[in-house]
Amino acid sequence: MARMESVAGPLAASAQTSASSVPVAAVAPRHSLLVRVTHWITTLCFLALLITGAGIVVSHPRFYWGETGNVLTKPLFRIPIPSSRAMVPTGYGYVLPDQNGWSRYLHFQSAWIVILTGLLYILSAFFTGHLRNDLLPAKPERSLRGFAAAIAAHSRFKRPPEAEAWSYNLPQRLAYLFVIFVLFPLVIWTGLAMSPSFVSAFPFTVNLLGGQQSARTLHFFVSLALVLFVLVHVGMVFLAGFWSRTRAMISGRAATPPEN
């Protein structure tokens, strides 16, 4: 019996060593490091832009169309809130604290950071295949029938399966493409069109929009569209599983690897 135990000991140790030496297949991250870094930089910048943008709007909550607009001009529409400046007629008997100064500085700084971050993301998406593999609709969804079937399948707002944590579905891809290549360029264009120094160098940028006040009004509506996208995006993250999706965007790993 003692001899058998002495033989079994080395065999068990050898088997354990052999098992530990077997290489484990590495699971590719759900999101690359660059995607995660640019995502969180954009998130922080967007939050700063939203807060400072609200401070700028409060200073003059009236919107116009054309080149000029002031308190003596009939507005296209107005936001029914008190202003932070007594000279702006709002119908309220008081004014809010004026946060326009620091809001403008931080707004411009955040805007330039998000522009540079967005350019880095787009260039990376082109050269790494992220655009082709993750953002453009998959081949089965490019036909009219496949497109309609995919939209119908995701229009019920049901909790998606865990397998979808490793890929974007069709509505996500279309929403991201629209934000990246339509809304973000528009909000940058309309923002720059309100800058006197930029307009003096490139006057056509504001002329195409109908004037600086038109650019401000369009900038406001495009910003609202981006806020709506963020709200829907966060809501869908909660529906799909907030902690698992957030963990994937922080560490790059989803809850479970996709099955082959």
| pLDDT higher than threshold 80 for residue 42 | yes
Q: Which pLDDT does position 144 carry in this prediction?
A: 73
Please report whether residue 157 resides in a domain.
yes
Alpha helices (runs of H) in the chain, residue ranges in sequence order? 2-20, 33-59, 100-128, 130, 144-154, 170-178, 184-192, 196-201, 204-207, 212-251
Partners of 63 in the beta sheet? 77
Please report whether residue 191 resides in a domain.
yes
Which tens digit of pLDDT belongs to each residue from 155-202? 665 565 555 555 677 788 889 999 999 999 999 999 999 999 999 999
* 224 CB-near residues (< 8 Å, 6+ apart): none
Q: Where do we find the tokens 């140790």?
A: 13
Average pLDDT over residues 26-37: 78
Which tens digit of pLDDT belongs to each residue from 43-80? 999 999 999 999 999 999 999 999 999 999 999 999 99
What is the domain range of residue 229?
Answer: 30-50+104-251
Please report whether residue 153 resides in a domain.
yes
The overall pTM is greater than 0.85: no
Q: What is the CATH number of the domain that holds 226?
A: 1.20.950
Please report whether residue 180 resides in a domain.
yes
Please report whether residue 260 resides in a domain.
no
